[in-house]
Structure 1
């Protein structure tokens, strides 16, 4: 798989997250894709749980911006150091940083994503 293919799917993932676009987000995932976000929580299945996942985002956030600070491509995947900035429905702002790893299948779709970040610290900023 080419570096360009991996870069393209990872960039599309981040763009659809920032746009809070569930349909665009889902296009980046394989049918059997599993997401650990953050690692340590029970996994979600991208295609089965898309409405639940985005339902939570829409419930709590007015705005979500996530930038790709550094992207590292290796083999059939990537690791991305990112920064997320959110504005909650209550008007409060929060910032979180993390690293997500992406495993890409032969069709250029994400088959596994794992995100390493402290969700509780971000939630505490919004209270």
Structure 2
């Protein structure tokens, strides 16, 4: 199982990948059989191929990600972060307030990602 420090470092790399426009950096954090539910309540993406397509489309549409609080660890194999996603929607700047919870496998790769945000969390 990865350490708390390793899990937090992975979430920091996730943020950096978005902010650098580097989809490969983000995708490399995920296990081959990972699952992504973004947002929670939508149909989960399963497997690296689906996740790769998702991030290759999502990352270019994001101006930047900014932490709203420090990345949080756990006593288990998960870590979470509250952050703001700055995007442009219909020609105007908008922010999506989000919390991601990532679960890691024994090799330190993200095996499950849940993104918590709803319609009221999108502000323009």
TM bucket normalised to smaller: 0.7 to 0.9
**Structure 1 ranges of 4+ moved more than 4 A:** none
Show the 5 A alignment for 1:1-127: 1-45=2-46, 47-49=48-50, 50-55=52-57, 57-58=59-60, 61=61, 63-70=62-69, 71-74=71-74, 75-88=76-89, 91-118=91-118, 122=122, 125=124
Check whether the contact 1:22–1:51 (CA below 8 A) recurs between aligned residues.
no
1:55, distance to aligned residue in structure 2 (A): 2.5
Check whether the contact 2:36–2:46 (CA below 8 A) recurs between aligned residues.
yes
Distance between the aligned counterparts of 1:95 and 1:80, measured in 2?
A: 16
Which consecutive residues of structure 1, in runs of 5 or more, have no partner in the other structure? none
Which whole-Å deviations, capped at 9, do the CAs of 1:29-80 have from their partners, x for residues lacking one?
Answer: 011010000001111135112124422554xx3x421122222100111121
Which consecutive residues of structure 2, in runs of 5 or more, have no partner in the other structure? none
Q: How does the TM-score come out when normalised to structure 2?
A: 0.83
Check whether the contact 2:86–2:93 (CA below 8 A) recurs between aligned residues.
yes
Q: Which moved more, 1:15-24 or 1:74-83?
A: 15-24
Alignment: residue pair count: 120
Change in Cα spacing, 1:72 to 1:121, as seen in structure 2 (3 Å) is closer
Distance between the aligned counterparts of 1:66 and 1:46, measured in 2?
A: 24
Q: How does the TM-score come out when normalised to structure 1?
A: 0.81
Check whether the contact 2:27–2:55 (CA below 8 A) recurs between aligned residues.
no
Distance between the aligned counterparts of 1:30 and 1:51, measured in 2?
A: 15
